[in-house]
């Protein structure tokens, strides 16, 4: 448009009532283009010009090749068409044509009209301002109400805003759908039983295989807290963690729906003489490294610091490529990022994996999981359980046996004889790291942030380990035991409990408010 700059200047120089300009220009093929530019009346001249410059610059992006178009800016707009589109209250004549001089009566009538228009505009502005003020006050009160509600919900042990619970609905499965998928929770589909409920294999209508944990009744947890915790766990995304797909909540029935992992749990391989043969050192080393990366994610890289509290071979699932996935967050504790340790009066866990400070005093931290990880390393290398280890004349646990032969300089004696060894230096390094993890002094244990590089690099020098926890000596008869301070979370089945009722030591997670 040839007259665009002229129209821009004319509109910008308008008065406080109107800032607009119209014009026309000839285009190819005897076509006439009509244009109108305008700014809001309260806009100063230079700001009007700046706004129109911005709108002009947008025309090639939106309207190139079109015979007409309109671009609207924050406080101005431009429109052009091949037909005359502007009229009353705008003057249809191009600004280049002079209008006849008005008579006195016309001037008086125009003056009265302007006064009336100005008065009407003031009334409109007052009404709009009043309405806007009322809306702002209502909005402010609603915000205060929501903020107070969020604080109340956080006070009952939740980290996430209440409005995020709405997105939990997208994760919710129909209870009847899960019943059909598991064939009415049939025994044939049952994969296992724990203190927090049974796990069943299922298949959805779309062919997807799932694992369903049917939680025990009577946990005492409210629906809101249950949904919130599901949302937290569902946000954990790592290749070495079992992925939570969703949940079902109906009356007293609470179901957690997980991805199905094909090769069951690590204990079905590592503690079975027949299956153990299939785990050569390369696969065992791969499992150790995967579990380490999963724990590092929970301790350092996830949105919240998460303490698993029940890391053991039966809670490590193996996919079709034998990649490990940490499962069962039934006793996990979620910390705020800068929190390092906590206390509990309920000692729940599995004998042989619990750190001494947790088993005896209820103190737990990331170092508690490190202890469990150390036990797991030594079990993977030896193929033996920590709490049922026997070696010749010695009756001792795996930790004390490993420590004894380490001091003798003969740790190769503990390596699983059924395992086809790959790198002897890697095996010895893993035994060394395992002993570092199970040291009795919590300060001496490394963090997962230090352990992962230890596993991946032979160039890093390792510190000397000190005596492990629960050290036993059969020749003296001394025995450090848990006694009555320990409540096992191993399989619990009793005829005194109705179906799907079991001893439930904790909810899905236990949260510390900030």
* pLDDT surpassing 70 at residue 307: yes
Does the pLDDT value for residue 445 go beyond 70?
Answer: yes
Residue 406 has pLDDT above 50, yes or no: yes
Nearest to 510 by CA among 292, 175, 196, 198: 196
Residue 324 pairs in a beta bridge with 318
CA distance 481 to 360: 9
- Residues annotated as catalytic are 310
Q: CA-based Rg of the chain, rounded to a whole angstrom?
A: 37
Share the mean pLDDT of the chain.
76
pLDDT tens digits, 344-368: 444 456 778 888 887 788 887 899 9
500, 214 contact by CB (below 8 A): yes
Facing residues of 37 across strands? 21, 78
Contacts for 159 with CB less than 8 Å, ≥ 6 apart: 232, 304, 334, 336, 511, 513, 514
- Residue 352's SS3 state is coil
- The span from the CA of 449 to the CA of 433, in Å, is 13
pLDDT over 80 (residue 173): yes
- 157 vs 13, which has greater pLDDT? 13
pTM of the model: 0.59
Banded model confidence at residue 61, pLDDT cuts 50, 70, 90: confident
**207-250 per-position pLDDT tens digit:** 999 999 888 776 555 566 567 667 777 888 899 999 989 999 88
Is the Cβ–Cβ distance between 404 and 471 less than 8 Å? no
Asked if residue 379 has pLDDT above 60, the reply is: yes
Contacts of 399 (CB under 8 A, 6+ apart): 375, 378, 386, 438, 468, 469, 470, 471
What's the DSSP call for residue 118? H
The Cα 341–Cα 363 span in angstroms is 7
Q: Which residues pair with 78 in a beta bridge?
A: 37, 71
Sort 447 into a burial class: Cβ within 10 Å, 0-12 / 13-18 / 19+.
Answer: middle
Write out the DSSP string of 263-314. T-BTHHHHT-HHHHTT--HHHHHHHHHHHHHHHHIIIIISSSEEE-S---GG
SS (H, E, C) 376-406: HHHHHHHCCCHHHCEECCEECCHHHHHHHHH
Strand-pair partners of 33: 25
pLDDT of 40:
87
């Amino acid at each position: 448009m040839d007259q665009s700059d002229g129209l821009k200047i004319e509109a910008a120089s308008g008065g406080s009532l109107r800032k607009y300009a119209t014009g026309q220009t000839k285009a190819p093929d005897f076509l006439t283009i009509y244009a109108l530019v305008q700014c809001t009346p309260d806009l100063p001249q230079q700001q009007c010009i700046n706004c129109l410059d911005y709108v002009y610059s947008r025309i090639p992006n939106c309207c190139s090749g079109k015979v007409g178009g309109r671009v609207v800016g924050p406080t101005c707009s431009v429109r052009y068409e091949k037909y005359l589109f502007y009229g009353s209250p705008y003057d249809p004549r191009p600004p280049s044509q002079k209008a006849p001089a008005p008579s006195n009566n016309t001037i008086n009538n125009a003056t009265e009209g302007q006064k009336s228009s100005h008065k009407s505009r003031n009334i409109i502005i007052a009404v709009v301002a009043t309405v806007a003020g009322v809306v702002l006050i209502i909005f402010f009160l609603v915000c205060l109400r929501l903020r107070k509600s969020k604080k109340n919900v956080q006070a009952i042990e939740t980290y996430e805003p209440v409005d995020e619970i709405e997105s939990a609905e997208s994760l919710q499965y129909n209870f009847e759908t899960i019943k059909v998928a598991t064939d009415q929770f049939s025994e044939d589909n049952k994969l296992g039983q724990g203190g927090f409920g049974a796990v069943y294999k299922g298949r959805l209508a779309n062919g997807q295989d799932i694992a369903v944990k049917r939680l025990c009744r009577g946990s005492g947890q409210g629906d809101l807290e249950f949904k919130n915790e599901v949302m937290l766990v569902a946000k954990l995304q790592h290749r070495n963690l079992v992925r939570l797909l969703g949940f079902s909540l109906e009356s007293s029935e609470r179901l957690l729906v997980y991805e199905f992992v094909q090769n069951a749990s690590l204990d079905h391989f590592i503690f079975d003489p027949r299956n153990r043969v299939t785990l050569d050192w390369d696969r065992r080393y791969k499992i150790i490294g995967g579990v380490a990366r999963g724990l590092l994610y929970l301790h350092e890289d996830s949105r919240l610091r998460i303490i698993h509290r029940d890391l053991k071979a039966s809670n490590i699932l193996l996919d079709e490529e034998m990649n490990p996935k940490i499962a069962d967050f039934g006793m996990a504790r979620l910390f705020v990022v800068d929190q390092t340790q906590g206390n509990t009066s309920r000692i729940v866990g599995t004998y042989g994996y619990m750190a001494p400070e947790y088993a005896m005093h209820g103190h737990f931290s990331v170092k508690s999981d490190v202890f469990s990880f150390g036990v797991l390393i030594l079990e993977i290398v030896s193929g033996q359980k920590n709490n049922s280890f026997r070696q010749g004349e010695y009756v001792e646990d795996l930790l004390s046996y490993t420590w004894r032969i380490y001091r003798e300089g003969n740790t190769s004696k503990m390596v699983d004889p059924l395992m086809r060894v790959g790198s002897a230096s890697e095996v010895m390094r893993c035994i060394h790291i395992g002993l570092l993890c199970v040291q009795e002094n919590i300060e001496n244990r490394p963090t997962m942030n230090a352990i992962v590089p230890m596993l991946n690099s032979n160039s890093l020098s390792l510190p000397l380990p000190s005596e492990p926890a629960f050290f036993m000596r059969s020749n003296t008869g001394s025995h450090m035991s848990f006694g009555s301070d320990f409540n096992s979370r191993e399989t619990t089945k009793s005829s005194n409990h109705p179906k799907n009722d079991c001893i439930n030591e904790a909810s899905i997670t236990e949260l510390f408010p900030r």
